[in-house]
Structure 1
Amino acid sequence: MRLTRSAGCSTSFIQTTASLGLFAALLIVIGVRTLVGEEAFAAWGWRIPFIVSIALLAVSLWIRMQLEESPVFQKMKDEGKTSKAPLTEAFGQWSNLKVVLIALFGAVVGQGVVFYTSQFYALFFLEKNLRVDGPTTNILIAIALLIATPAFIFFGWLSDKIGRKWIILTGCALAALTYMPLFHALSKAANPALYAAQANSPVTVVANPDECSVQFDPVGKNKFDSSSCDIAKSYLAKAGISYTNVIAPAGTVAQINIGGATIPVVNPAVVSGPEKAAAIKTFGTEVKTALTAVGYPEKADPAQINKPMVIAILVLLVLYVTMVYGPIAALLVELFPTRIRYTSMSLPYHIGNGWFGGFLPTAAFAMVAATGDIYYGLWYPILACAVTAVVGLVFLPETFRRSLHG
């Protein structure tokens, strides 16, 4: 009975396509921005990459239609041995459901948040929090992806030698231990003026916490302008400004303290409609002026960006992705019996990536807005990776010597 001695290396080539897809997307965005200019790109040019993707969608559908069943599964179909009720068998029997849950919390949750944090959240953090201009951010991320992507194949190959479990769990553990210092170092390297201003001229928000909502907005429709507290925190969080919360008694209109300046926030109870919108805009201008006066830069100075250091940090972050994502396909395939393999592995993979990973930016923003710490959102992936490392260490079996014929 043949063992899956090269499954890790073979499937790791497939895993590279996720990061290569992001790399290709960044190249297209960089090219469009260069061709049409930043002003036109912001106005209408951003639609061009989406239009181009229609052609890629057609190609992907064609590729999918050419795929055939694996020889093992095809043999089971020919012999009539496939499951008649795969959903019931996969999730209705504790012996299988237990493996599904172990796969979810002992492998895929950590893999999902590392994938999103190290690539997408790092891009968001550079551009929105650290105010590095879009083209530079795209180029830095693209360079890091180009350098680190071959490691998918290396860790896939290595998982055939020493096992999948330990590589994935090591990647999760390293991410949990180093995300916080790495993002601090990224801030210092990408925008040293902002890093210094936050240390030397801290910002405080004085507000009644009962008037502050949790700014969790998965669909991006909420403006968070129903209370003075929400207006203050939403503005600062979107601007990437760290702040300290100071509790005020009920009925107090929120205010922001920046250096020696105190700026009252718009009170939605006394203004509404266009008048409120105009007042919020004026408030934003006042905050921006006060921040500039104490040294907060409007955007990162390209001459001050330590690009080699930024790239080195981004490469390390992507290497974590290659550790957890390179061997994951082989691990999931080997965890489940052939008759219910596709059904069983789909649930942990899509929940781990789509829910735990996909909600990371939104959840992280809500955490930042609530606490005022631009790094606080990192606790989401840190805790998720820690849970995966512990659950995987205790419950996740090693699979690299298992047969695919089961």
Structure 2
Amino acid sequence: MEQQPPSPQQPQQQPALPVVDEPTAARKDVTTQELRSIVIAACVGTLIEWYDFFVFGSMTSTTSALFYNTGTEVGNTIAWLAAFAVGFIVRPFGAIVFGYIGDKVGRKYTFALTLVMMGVCTFLCGCLPTIKDIGPAAGILLIILRLVQGLAIGGEYGGAASYISEYCPERERGFWTGFLQMTATGGLILSLIVILIFRVSLGEANWSQFGWRFPFLLSVLLVGVSLYIRLKMRESPLFTKAKGEGKMNKNPLVESFLRPYNLYYVCLALFGATMGQGCVWYTAQFYALTFIQTTLKTPLITSYLIVLVACFFAAPLFVVVGSLSDKYGRKRFMLAGIFLGATLFYPMYMGLYHFRPYENNDGKGGFREGYNPAMMSFLTFLMVSFVALAYGPIAAFMVELFPTSIRYTSMSLPYHIGNGIFGGLVPVIATSVAAATGNKLSGLFYPIGVASACFVIGLVFLPETNTRNIENMTDAGGHVENNVEVVEKA
């Protein structure tokens, strides 16, 4: 079922869902081997940026008391998660700024800049003095760095998704962008692996004293390698073609957000797809890690392994679902993942609580008889599989909503509002609600409510996009208009 949007002002010369045709000269010369190299180059950089962004949240149980002193462990955790959330709140602003730059200057150099910004800030997080050294200023400096990180990640995703999509064949867009979708969970996996390596090799005392800095400091090496790879990349062929033909908009911001027809699809992407998908992503992975560590008092190393194993085995599903969406459509998979999250998160978290390590709430005493970390990991795996359904096809879906001239700008904002604000705030909101009510599962009503609303909106209004030819689009929604404002060729 799909509700039709208002028609553009000018009559359409072709159907809303143009049939796929053969790739034009802009992409004919790209071999499969070259495409594979392009996807790897784009994904490596995005993986490192997600590592930089997520290593902060993965360190919550270790570092919260080093920067905040609220008097309680839960208070310190909430303060750290609030600082973590700051980076999510500013992501839409990064999407606007870097989306505009990406649609004006190009994809390649824009997401090279965001990579450098993210890496420098992560490295500086590892250099910060703690609250014992400079008092509350430590927490303030941390928030400033998170603000810059949020701006950077806000400009990364739209560029990488546009770049890969504008190279790959029409019938394989979901498959190739599925690798990009896997990088977010891959960044979480990498952060957990790095933390475990340093935590185990250094021991508890050294880890708590100085070892926690190393996962942050490592970023400078990872970013250096990734930047070298990215600077050797070519610009997107569709962007180059559109710019050469004088078909780029003078002002992508105005075209994306002030033109009603395009704005309709920006809002539809947000309320019918990304806000629900974002809540599913962060409830299944980051809040699960926080819940297992701080609420259930699971031993630190065990908690990391529970989430690491679950994410590792679920990661290939992003590519599988992306590939299936090329054949069977994006909408059904995205909505299935959102629906499963909305209906099954509560019983899944009840299962995590059932297999918890301790009977009491202080994490002391011997393990209870029903403690089962393997089952906790399996339940987490099931939740991450919901993420794969919702998130695997969404890059291809978003790319297919908007034309090349405004794609970076138009897809970045709804993606980062949905994932950065609606989804990114799940850990701090859910943890705060649970602490305030005394009900360990009450915080789940926020992501469940958002996902439920998104499912209904998406079911009614979302179009199917997997048959669209993005090269021929000049307006949102797969339409072609004759009155697009363009930049005159030099």
- TM, length-normalised to structure 2: 0.60
Aligned residues: 306
Deviations 1:172-201, CA, capped at 9 Å, x for gaps:
00000000110011111123624xxxxxxx
One-letter code aligned to 1:108: T
The answer on whether the counterparts of 2:317 and 2:385 sit within 8 Å (CA) in structure 1 is yes
Gaps of at least 5 residues in structure 2 are: 1-20, 23-168, 474-490
Question: 1:165 aligns to what?
Answer: 331
One-letter code aligned to 1:360: V
In 2, distance between residues paired with 1:103 and 1:36? Answer: 45
CA shift at 1:302, angstroms?
Answer: 8.2
The answer on whether the counterparts of 1:190 and 1:300 sit within 8 Å (CA) in structure 2 is no
Taking structure 1 as reference, are residues 299 and 78 closer, same or farther at Cα in structure 2, changes over 3 Å only? farther
In 2, distance between residues paired with 1:299 and 1:386? Answer: 39
Question: 1:184 aligns to what?
Answer: 350
In 2, distance between residues paired with 1:141 and 1:160? Answer: 29
Match of 2:277 among 108, 111, 117: 111
Deviations 1:189-233, CA, capped at 9 Å, x for gaps:
123624xxxxxxxxxxxxxxxxxxxxxxxxxxxxxxxxxxxxxxx
Deviations 1:6-45, CA, capped at 9 Å, x for gaps:
1001100111111122112111111111111122212221
SS of the residue 2:171 aligns to: coil
In 1, distance between residues paired with 2:363 and 2:291? Answer: 16
Taking structure 1 as reference, are residues 27 and 83 closer, same or farther at Cα in structure 2, changes over 3 Å only? same
Taking structure 1 as reference, are residues 136 and 34 closer, same or farther at Cα in structure 2, changes over 3 Å only? same
Question: 2:420 aligns to what?
Answer: 354
Question: 1:212 aligns to what?
Answer: none
Show the 5 A alignment for 1:227-238: none
Question: 1:150 aligns to what?
Answer: 316
SS of the residue 2:347 aligns to: helix
Taking structure 1 as reference, are residues 400 and 299 closer, same or farther at Cα in structure 2, changes over 3 Å only? farther
In 2, distance between residues paired with 1:161 and 1:300? Answer: 52
One-letter code aligned to 1:161: K
Show the 5 A alignment for 1:298-377: 298=364, 301=367, 304-377=370-443
The answer on whether the counterparts of 2:358 and 2:364 sit within 8 Å (CA) in structure 1 is no
The answer on whether the counterparts of 1:131 and 1:299 sit within 8 Å (CA) in structure 2 is no
Question: 1:31 aligns to what?
Answer: 197
In 1, distance between residues paired with 2:368 and 2:312? Answer: 22
Question: 1:135 aligns to what?
Answer: 301
One-letter code aligned to 1:193: E
Question: 2:225 aligns to what?
Answer: 59
In 1, distance between residues paired with 2:280 and 2:229? Answer: 28
- Do residues 383 (structure 1) and 444 (structure 2) align? no
Question: 2:239 aligns to what?
Answer: 73
Question: 1:198 aligns to what?
Answer: none
CA shift at 1:299, angstroms?
Answer: 6.7
Question: 1:251 aligns to what?
Answer: none
In 1, distance between residues paired with 2:414 and 2:452? Answer: 17
The answer on whether the counterparts of 1:168 and 1:323 sit within 8 Å (CA) in structure 2 is yes
The answer on whether the counterparts of 2:256 and 2:262 sit within 8 Å (CA) in structure 1 is yes
In 1, distance between residues paired with 2:192 and 2:440? Answer: 25
The answer on whether the counterparts of 2:297 and 2:358 sit within 8 Å (CA) in structure 1 is no
Instruction: Compare the two structures and name the one with the higher strand fraction.
Output: 1
One-letter code aligned to 2:209: A
One-letter code aligned to 2:192: L
In 1, distance between residues paired with 2:274 and 2:423? Answer: 9
SS of the residue 1:5 aligns to: helix
CA shift at 1:67, angstroms?
Answer: 3.5
Structure 1 vs Structure 2 CA RMSD = 1.7
CA shift at 1:170, angstroms?
Answer: 0.6
In 2, distance between residues paired with 1:303 and 1:33? Answer: 28
Match of 1:45 among 191, 198, 211: 211
Taking structure 1 as reference, are residues 63 and 299 closer, same or farther at Cα in structure 2, changes over 3 Å only? farther
Deviations 1:276-307, CA, capped at 9 Å, x for gaps:
xxxxxxxxxxxxxxxxxxxx642772875212
In 1, distance between residues paired with 2:363 and 2:221? Answer: 41
Question: 2:18 aligns to what?
Answer: none
The answer on whether the counterparts of 1:73 and 1:338 sit within 8 Å (CA) in structure 2 is yes
Q: What percentage of aligned pairs have identical amino acids?
A: 44
Deviations 1:69-128, CA, capped at 9 Å, x for gaps:
322221111111111111001001110001000001111111111111111110100000
One-letter code aligned to 2:318: F
- Do residues 96 (structure 1) and 262 (structure 2) align? yes
The answer on whether the counterparts of 2:343 and 2:448 sit within 8 Å (CA) in structure 1 is yes
The answer on whether the counterparts of 1:186 and 1:313 sit within 8 Å (CA) in structure 2 is yes
One-letter code aligned to 2:197: G
SS of the residue 1:190 aligns to: coil
The answer on whether the counterparts of 2:298 and 2:363 sit within 8 Å (CA) in structure 1 is no
CA shift at 1:55, angstroms?
Answer: 1.2
Question: 1:399 aligns to what?
Answer: 465
The answer on whether the counterparts of 2:284 and 2:387 sit within 8 Å (CA) in structure 1 is yes
